[in-house]
Structure 1
Amino acid sequence: MARQVIILHGWSDSSKSFKALAKFLDEHGFTPHAVHLGDYISMDDEVRVEDVSRRMRDVIRQRQDEGTIDASFDMIVHSTGGLVARQWIADLAGLGLPCPLKRLVMLAPANFGSALAVKGKSLLGRILKGGGNWFQTGKAMLDALELASPYQWKLASQDLFVPAGKSDAPSPYGDEGVWPFVVVGSHPYSDLLRKIVNENGSDGTVRVCAANLNARGMTIDFSSDPENPEVTPWTLRNPELRMPLAVLLDRDHGSITRPDTKGVNAGDPNLLGELILQALRCGDLNEYSAIGQQWDAITEGTGRLAGDKNSNKDSRAFYHQYFQVVVRAVDDQGNDIEDFFLEFGGADKNDRLTGIFHTEVLEKVSPNQTNPALRCLYVDRNDLFELYYDQIKDPTNKVLTLTVSAAPPGPNVAYLNQGQGRIKVHSEHVDVRDNLGELRMRRNTTHFLKLVIPRTPKDDVFKLRVAP
């Protein structure tokens, strides 16, 4: 017997958009009474993701008490609905309450933000999207959706990573908890109006690496020795769990919710539906792991299209694999540093390599509008290998260095007064020399990177003299 399924929409959407998905489920064994469509406010400026998740918790509990929602059920979410679901799961875990959810199918979830959130908060966004809502577009929710938002940093510490200062923390995912599945497209919008928001490595709205829930984190502490920083990987709550990710070649952000239709470039019309049903029918963790391996093959098949010489250069670029790095700079007292600088280059400070990285490989840097101490770096992994590493002929010197500096807050205080901090970075499948710890970047992945920069007062800040 098919389990009950709750479907959650994304920002500026409603449950009306998911009638076709509900019909698809009905046609495949999920009877109409088993599918529930959730609606929530996303366009009123004061409503936060946390408000929606708290109200959802109360509604689900009430419906369970009434007997209309089962004690255990599954969920399908789209876009911002992924953040709502994760917050709800994290809240229950924080209260020590069992989560009634088992399978969480995430369709193009904005787990780690969307580049369009800033546009939604802009004056033009308020005119175009908020004209029928007193020019409100959901500022609080868009703040959470913005790339490198403090909210995403906080949520990741609630459900993915063990908080700093703790030795361990239970994971809400895997084992007896929730089984997440992520399906996202890698094809941009094709209609003329929406083409202006497209970016490679995304579905037009959400980046593949921002959808993938398998995030990584690391702290680089320059406070003791700027030339030999302490590198500490963040501990995952469930390090053994790898959550399935499928990247589809023919779906954009809208068509990812329509398994009843063909993809935008006439790819396999049945694959999306097959993946949704496969996730909802997953029976145990062994099968969950097997699904992950099958979906990896799909993802790599999509990625190989970047090398298809039969397609034009622009079309191949759709399928480049990216990673993004969410950087947060703080001083050694724990205070955010808003004015800091990152420079990437070769081991020998080759200006040409530095120029290649910053113009061709590093595609975009997005400072967070609410807290400039956080920023998101969007890196084209294909170009990293094909344009950057290929320029380095010595195989033992295929190195990418990260140099960190920060503008002094005033004449009496300095950052990194012993010189700029440097560390070596490497990506998958590249052999590099590295005796400063491992800073490894994975494709299709979001990496959280906390930089601790020493704050040093000048000598004149305090003096002590012998009394005359």
Structure 2
Amino acid sequence: MTTLVFVHGWSVTHTSTYGALPQRLQQQAAAHGIALDIADIWLSEYVSFDDAVTMPDLVRAFDHALRDLHLVSASFACITHSAGGPVVREWLRAQRERPGVHSTIRLTHLMMLAPANFGSALAQLGKGVLGRLKAWWDGIEPGQRVLDWLELGSAESWSLNLDHIHGEDPAGYEQFLFVLTGDRPDRGLYDHANSYTGEDGSDGVVRIAAANLNAHHAVLARGTSAAYDTLSLHLTKAPRTAFKLIAGASHSGTAQGIMAAAPHVTVDTLLRCLRVTDAGRYAQLCDAFEQENAERDADKIEREKVGPFPARVHIHDPRSLLIVRLTDESGEALIGSRFLLTAGAPANPDWMPQGFMLDRQANRRSANVISLFLNHTLLAGDQRVADPASSRRTLRPATDAHRPYGAMLQPADLSELVHHALARSAASQDLFDAIGPHQTTLLDVVLPRLVHEGVFRLTQKRAPEDFSNPVIGAVIP
């Protein structure tokens, strides 16, 4: 008998958000050999719309609520939507790091629908004037502290995702994580005041790459050489996570929402996940999802009806999310620095492929963290894209890769007693190796902190001496 807990996302105030999904799962479970009774399904009701509530508060309350279930097997499976994914992942980390404080209830399957694992570009809108006005109209608060977590590049999400990337593979101890996300927005829900709601490469709220846990942590830092201006690339890849694109599904809405509308493919995929019982079957499902995603990516032309006018054409290329954090060797944030991507040899920022940069957004609380939304296909190079309705018509000509790709950092302080120097990635390395399709890369760019001898000197002169304008001197090794 499987106990199944549903966890909703940010700003939800009614359990109708789960739609028909719990009922359909229960009805079809038996056909898949899964014992699931309606009494074993629990729907979460948690408060994210109170400005005082933080992510640790939700973790603490979630842990308390689980204790009240009095589970016979002391284990459960969980289906989350949107911000619910990070909530449960934070609970898993807290449970692992503080076993004496949190319950020992074991989560076997975490199935995340459209999770904002790396945040959402919409979080800034939720914190802005429009979000506050909507919250006031609905009689609730916007949930400021949870939105802080959900903002792209937040320190909290960065910490959780670094922990995942550098951590053990959960499948090794039979805890199975799954990410299912829609592959396009619901055009009928487009908000003309906010273009993110119609952004290709997203489900209208969460970017595909920001949902996927198959991520990288890349570090550009000074290597073993003494050169201050050359940064070497160090790369860590996250444990493999089952990732599935639900074709035609969006984040929410009754027409094509991944959860509320409960399309048959969502139910079938969730049941496929629940049937996984060991690491071998998990690896097989990962392989199957990869093949199905490749088939979806091959069919990437969407025609959007525009009344009596010619249809809009959308080319659904895989996108990548590059979240860059600029610091120096002491951990100090580099504010006001310019980060540039470069292409070719010699490296030149003017040689980047046309149209590769789709969006950039700085984190409001950490100005040294910038999120870049990139077209992975244009970076990789692509064949001519023909119109499926007429193969002679070209929707996009063939594009060439401009590799190797690199990075250049121009700090705001280039002189004085303590400063930073211009630096770039090593010419022998290609930053493209750190960027995956439908994936996020956390990139730490770490500049050497140059301290000169003039900061501290010793003297034996007995005569009074003014050192208010010190001689800078050489850089301390």
TM class by shorter-chain length? 0.7 to 0.9
**What's 2:379 paired with?**
384
Equivalent residues of 1:217, 1:233 under 8 A apart: yes
What secondary structure is seen at the aligned counterpart in 1 of 2:173?
coil
2:5 and 2:79 in contact (8 A); partners too: yes
How do residues 160-309 of structure 1 correspond to structure 2 at under 5 angstroms? 160-162=165-167, 170-171=168-169, 173-191=170-188, 193-194=190-191, 196=194, 197-222=197-222, 224-234=226-236, 236=238, 239=239, 242-254=240-252, 255-258=257-260, 260-261=262-263, 270-306=264-300
Aligned runs of 1:409-420 on 2, under 5 Å? 411-416=416-421, 419-420=422-423
Distance 1:6 1:330 in 2: 40
For each residue in 1:334-373, what CA deviation from the matched residue of structure 2 results, as whole angstroms up to 9, or x when unmatched?
122222211123223456424x45xx10111111001112
One-letter amino acid of the counterpart of residue 291, structure 1: L
Pick which of 138-147 and 250-259 moved more: 250-259
Greater radius of gyration (CA): 2
Contact in 1 for aligned 2:243/2:286 (Cα 8 Å): yes
Structure 2 distance, partners of 1:351, 1:339, is 18
> Which has a greater percent of strand?
2
Note the C-alpha offset of 1:465.
4.7
Please give the alpha-carbon distance, in whole angstroms, between the structure 2 residues aligned to 1:132 and 1:124: 12
Amino acid at match of 2:258: I
What does the per-residue CA deviation read over 1:291-348, in whole Å, with 9 as the maximum and x for residues that have no partner?
111111221122122368999995433x221111111111111122222211123223
Q: 1:110 to 1:410 in 2, by over 3 A?
A: same
Match of 2:94 in 1: 91
**Please, which of 71, 75, 80 is the counterpart of residue 77 of structure 1?**
80
The residue that corresponds to 2:444 in the other structure is 450
With over 3 angstroms needed to count, the CA separation of the structure-2 counterparts of 1:26 and 1:10, relative to structure 1, is: same
Distance 2:429 2:23 in 1: 56
Superposed counterparts of 1:149-160, under 5 Å = 149-160=154-165
Distance, in Å, in 2 between the alignment partners of 1:243 and 1:32 is 29
CA offset at residue 399 of structure 1?
1.7
Which residue in the other structure is 1:427 paired with? none
Question: What is the Cα deviation at residue 235 of structure 1?
Answer: 6.6
Counterpart CA distance in 2 for 1:307 and 1:188 is 14
How far the C-alpha of 1:101 sits from its partner, in A, is: 0.7
Please identify, of 381-390 and 84-93, the stretch whose mean Cα deviation from structure 2 is larger. 381-390
Deviation at 1:147, TM superposition (A): 0.6
Q: Report if aligned partners of 2:333, 2:368 keep a CA contact under 8 Å in 1.
A: yes
CA distance in 2, matches of 1:106, 1:412: 50
* Count of equivalent residues: 425
Cα distance per residue 1:276-305 (max 9 Å; x no partner): 111122222211111111111221122122
How many angstroms apart in 2 are the aligned matches of 1:155 and 1:352? 35
Contact 1:49 1:84 in 2 (8 A): yes
For 1:117, the equivalent position in structure 2 comes to 123
C-alpha distance 435-444 of structure 1, shift in aligned 2 (>3 A) = closer
How high is the TM-score relative to the length of structure 1?
Answer: 0.83
Is the contact made by 2:203 and 2:251 (CA closer than 8 Å) also made in structure 1? yes
Cross-structure match for 1:32: 38
Shift of residue 391, structure 1, vs aligned partner: 6.4
Which SS does the other structure have where 2:171 is aligned?
coil
Aligned to 1:18: 18
Q: Which of 317, 320, 327 lines up with 1:320 in the alignment?
A: 317
Q: CA 1:60–1:391 in 2, change beyond 3 Å: closer, same or farther?
A: closer
CA–CA distance in 1 between the matches of 2:406 and 2:89?
A: 35
Consecutive unaligned residues in structure 2, runs of 5 or more: 30-35, 384-396, 464-477
Partner of 1:428: none
One-letter identity of the residue aligned with 1:206 = V
Q: TM-score with structure 2 length normalisation?
A: 0.81
Match among 358, 361, 364 for residue 359 of structure 2: 364
- The 1:413–1:178 alpha-carbon spacing in structure 2 relative to 1, beyond 3 Å, is same
How far apart are residue 228 of structure 1 and its match? 3.6
Look up the SS of the partner of 1:104 in the other structure: strand
* Structure 1 residue aligned with 2:62: 56
Q: Deviations over 1:355-395 (max 9, x none)?
A: x45xx101111110011121111111122234899766xx9
- Output the CA distance in 2 between the equivalents of 1:310 and 1:59: 44
CA contact (8 A) 1:92 1:99 kept: no
**Equivalent in the alignment of 1:5:** 4
Q: How far did residue 219 of structure 1 move?
A: 1.5
CA distance in 2: counterparts of 1:466 and 1:282, whole angstroms: 75
Is the Cα–Cα contact under 8 Å of residues 405 and 430 in structure 2 kept in the other structure? no
> Structure 1 pair 111/123, CA: closer, same or farther in 2 (3 Å)?
same
Does the 8 A contact of 2:405 with 2:432 survive in 1?
no
Q: Which runs of 5+ in 1 are unaligned?
A: 163-169, 262-269, 425-433
Give the 3 Å change call, closer, same or farther, for CA 191–323 of structure 1 in structure 2: same
Corresponding residue SS for 1:316: strand
**Partner SS, residue 359 of structure 2:** strand
Partners of 1:90 and 1:159 within 8 A in 2: no
1:403 to 2:408 alignment: yes
Code of the residue aligned with 1:83 in structure 2: it is P
Residue aligned with 1:39, SS? coil
1:460 positional shift: 4.6
CA distance in 2, matches of 1:193, 1:313: 16
Report if aligned partners of 1:222, 1:451 keep a CA contact under 8 Å in 2.
no
CA distance in 1, matches of 2:174, 2:367: 35
* Separation of aligned partners in 1, 2:165 and 2:459: 52
